[in-house]
A and B are shown apart, each in its own frame.
Chain A
Amino acid sequence: MNYVIEVEHLTKKYKSFKAIDDLSFKVKKGEILGLLGPNGSGKSTTINCLLALLNFKQGHIKIFGKEMKQDAYDIKQDIGVVFQDVAVFDELTVYENIDYFGGLYIKDKNLRKTYINEALDLVSLKDFAKFYPKQLSGGLIRRLNIACGIVHKPKLIFLDEPTVAVDPQSRNNILNGIRKLRDDGATIIYTTHYMEEAEMICDNIVILDKGNIIAEGSSDELKKLAKIEEKVIVEIMNFDDKYLKMIGKLKNVVDVTYASSILTVKYNKGQNNLVTFIEYLKENKIEYFKIYSERPTLNDVFLEITGKELRD
């Protein structure tokens, strides 16, 4: 198997605190790996170790089959990073910023020019090439941040929360760009707080908590880990709490909650749960505005495994 990243027994300590504890995983060539976990789970520490920005005393990291070190410039040549915090020069235009960061990898001026134009196209910033970062909206700056990280056409790209605080248009643009990068052959490590994004674009997902991998696999594989199979969601005004206990005792129901006019009923298995529940509501003359059923999301899996929301 052709692995781009191989991490074995990686442990990173800050004094006595273990930020990463015996972490091992592999990333295949051309895949998008989602690195998920709540704040403080060790995502950033893992990425910083992978990039040799942090020293560690235990474990091994191989990238493109070679040991990753601070002076492994041949490996770094094929790595691109898009940090969560925007890393651009305020004094340079969009074009000049991309040119500078591209110039750290590519000496050939003409080749760089071609790559800059391709990067501008990828993030749809061509019309803003002469703008300064201060003249750009939050979404456009994030796109510039991405362009600066991938202009040299790296084979391995780290994207750390690239869509935080961006408008939907920019988000779609960014996600499309990431897919295109993958289609062009790049391997991508993607960290995000948005589960739906991870579901949409990640081939594989690693869920970290307290420096450990607590689950990994594709989106579908992870969903199978969840105890629930179906959720029925009902919009009800003035719901009487006495029904909560009764609903909880219905067949296959594992959990029922009511908050903000939303009643959520979780089933561990079974078919026709929605139809059965509609009948139950009719029988008890409970009026509702809307009712629908959905499969458990990655967020439910995450909540079940870690006991907290991803954004906690």
Chain B
Amino acid sequence: MIVFKTYLKIINKRKWPIILYTVLLIVFGSITISTSDDNINFVASKPDVLIVNNDDSALTRSLVNYLEENTNIIDTVKLDNVDDALFYREVNYVIYIPSDFETAFMNDDNPSITVKGSGDYYASFGEIILNRYLTVANTYLRLGYDKEDIISNTESVLSNKVDVSLINETDTTTLAKVTYYYNFTNYSILAGLIYAISIVMFSFNKKMICYRTEISSLNKTKYNSYLLLSNGAFALLLWFFYVLLSFIMLGSVMFSISGLLYMINSFFFVFFALTLALLLGKLKLDKNAVGGIINVIALGSSFLCGAFVPAAYLPDMVLKIAHVLPSYYFINNNELIKDIVTFDFGSLLPFVINILIMIGFSVIVILLTNGIGKKNVNTNE
């Protein structure tokens, strides 16, 4: 108990850097939340199309009717000014239907319709609508239907409406915010947790303190267990606090399966940070150097792995280097969670693999720490 009490006292004396890193997290999280628009609305839009129909036939009338239903027909543009109109986006797509189009179509002469587009996605949309009609009509022509049947069947097929319902009600905007928040915890956890634990362990691992403890009547195994439990408890407490903060700042989304996955992911990352902190605490470093080393680790991995700048914007070379850092897998998992639509084995497998990699990193660090511990014992012998 005295070990745990003393551990907390020392943590308390070193609380300010931890508070600073937490404040940074809150500030960054708040900025992210306030700058993101909660209500992104989508409005259905149609391309502006000019039709120059030189074939007054049943087929072309049917085509024009279909185009009228699905586009905004522009009839105010003079044919001499078509290019200017396209340039100024007064019209997005111009369709020239040649004379005798119907006859040529029915004779399977592959008549061509001349088109002009403004080059933007509205023009592409217009082209899709035109192609859709012609493809369906052409299908019926190939099947040997006569003109009336081709027209009626094409109109019938194209008038079919399909009801679409979302099977997943994932709020991607909010999940993006959660991802930003948890990505930033990469910095807060590494900087805060490693700083606190390595500094405390630095005090407990001072040679003379170790000697004094070793010659005491407190069982060595018990003492090490108390220290380990103290570290674990502190790491757990910090993790819980950061998770709680995410509930407060981000709200109900944290009660979803995605929220649970973010928590699990951060838990394993905190575990890794704990092992790294214990390793740093074992090294015979100068106390003042610890702060610098921690900043290099926390800031370096945050920049390299996309905690501050999304990984998509980082050069390939940087991302390749980032693969050797556990932060990469932590942040990668956060991004994965954001994009998961259905929670099944296939979609969760990459998440689990990333978790296993983080555990692997932790095991390596634990082995290193034990190696250093044994080396120190050998030095005493």
Q: Using a CB–CB distance below 8 Å, which chain A residues touch chain B? A: 51-55, 70-71, 73-74, 76-77, 79, 81, 83, 85-92, 96, 99-101, 103-105, 107, 148-149
B4 vs chain A, min Cβ distance (A)? 10
A39 vs chain B, min Cβ distance (A)? 19
Given A52-B215, A85-B208, 10 further pairs, Cβ under 8 A? A71-B219, A73-B217, A90-B203, A91-B9, A91-B10, A92-B6, A92-B10, A100-B6, A101-B216, A104-B213
Kindly state whether residue B46 has any CB partner on chain A within 8 Å: no
Kindly state whether residue B211 has any CB partner on chain A within 8 Å: yes
Among B9, B14, B217, B218, find the residue whose CB has the most chain A CB atoms closer than 10 A.
B217
**Cα distance, A88 to B212, chains bound together (Å):** 9
CB-CB contacts below 8 Å: B180-218 with A: 203, 206-209, 211-218
Dominant SS among interface residues on chain B: helix
Kindly state whether residue B380 has any CB partner on chain A within 8 Å: yes
**Cα distance, A247 to B216, chains bound together (Å):** 58
B216 vs chain A, min Cβ distance (A)? 4
Q: When the two chains form their complex, are residues A51 and B216 in contact, meaning their CB atoms are under 8 A apart? A: no
Q: When the two chains form their complex, are residues B14 and A91 in contact, meaning their CB atoms are under 8 A apart? A: yes
Q: When the two chains form their complex, are residues A105 and B211 in contact, meaning their CB atoms are under 8 A apart? A: no
**Cα distance, A52 to B9, chains bound together (Å):** 30
Q: Which of B9, B213, B220 contacts A96 (CB 8 A)?
A: B9
**Cα distance, A88 to B5, chains bound together (Å):** 16
Known contacts A73-B217, A81-B215; is A87 also within 8 Å of B14 by CB? no
Q: Using a CB–CB distance below 8 Å, which chain B residues touch chain A? A: 1-3, 5-6, 9-10, 13-14, 203, 206-209, 211-220, 380-381
Dominant SS among interface residues on chain A: loop
Q: List 27 A-B contacts (CB under 8 A).
A: A52-B215, A54-B380, A55-B381, A70-B214, A73-B217, A73-B219, A76-B217, A79-B215, A81-B212, A81-B215, A83-B212, A85-B207, A87-B206, A87-B209, A87-B211, A87-B212, A89-B209, A91-B14, A92-B6, A92-B10, A96-B6, A100-B2, A100-B6, A103-B5, A103-B6, A104-B216, A149-B212
**Cα distance, A105 to B270, chains bound together (Å):** 34
A50 vs chain B, min Cβ distance (A)? 10
Closest residue of chain B to A82 (Cβ to Cβ) is B212
Question: Which residues of chain B are within 8 angstroms of A54 by Cβ–Cβ distance?
Answer: 380-381
**Cα distance, A56 to B176, chains bound together (Å):** 62
Question: Which residues of chain A are within 8 angstroms of B214 by Cβ–Cβ distance?
Answer: 53, 70
Q: When the two chains form their complex, are residues A77 and B9 in contact, meaning their CB atoms are under 8 A apart? A: no
Closest residue of chain A to B204 (Cβ to Cβ) is A89
B49 vs chain A, min Cβ distance (A)? 76
A208 vs chain B, min Cβ distance (A)? 21
